[in-house]
Amino acid sequence: MSIFARFRVPAVGADEARTLVSQGAALLDVRESTEWNAGHAPQAVHVPVSRLQDLARRVPKGKKVVVVCRSGNRSAHVVRTLAGQGYDAVNLSGGMHAWRSAGGAVVDRHGRPGTVA
């Protein structure tokens, strides 16, 4: 094992993330509220990075968790944290930009077509 292997984060592309979510995985959006309000996946659970202590109430540990942010950087950090807490978590590579590009729905806080800022 290389010295960098312990820093690797399990990740999936947008197509695989969409499949996992359709099969029952939780989609966890860790962006800030202003980003969420502008546009998010309709089936996502919103727990901003600053509120991760609330995660246990929102997502059960026995469930696969696909973590997403805008580009994939914040979510990678969250995946490391969740893995250390016993969650089966993966990062959505490319974040919400990749989700939208792969045909994933994006809605605003009112359920209308949203944007990824």
The pLDDT assigned to 46 comes to: 96
Range of the domain at 54: 8-101
pTM for the structure as a whole: 0.92
Average pLDDT on 61-90 reads 95
Q: How far is residue 13's CA from residue 92's CA, in Å, rounded to a whole number?
A: 6
Residue 69 annotated as catalytic: yes
- The domain total for the chain is 1
Q: Is residue 91 part of a domain?
A: yes
Report percent pLDDT > 90 for the chain: 83
Q: Is residue 114 part of a domain?
A: no
Q: Is residue 70 part of a domain?
A: yes
Q: How far is residue 44's CA from residue 96's CA, in Å, rounded to a whole number?
A: 11
pLDDT of residue 1 exceeding 60, the answer is no
**Active site residue: 17, 65, 69, 82, which one?**
69
Instruction: Provide the CATH number for the domain around residue 21.
Output: 3.40.250.10
Q: Is residue 77 part of a domain?
A: yes
pLDDT of residue 4 exceeding 80, the answer is no
pLDDT of residue 117 exceeding 90, the answer is no
Q: Is residue 108 part of a domain?
A: no
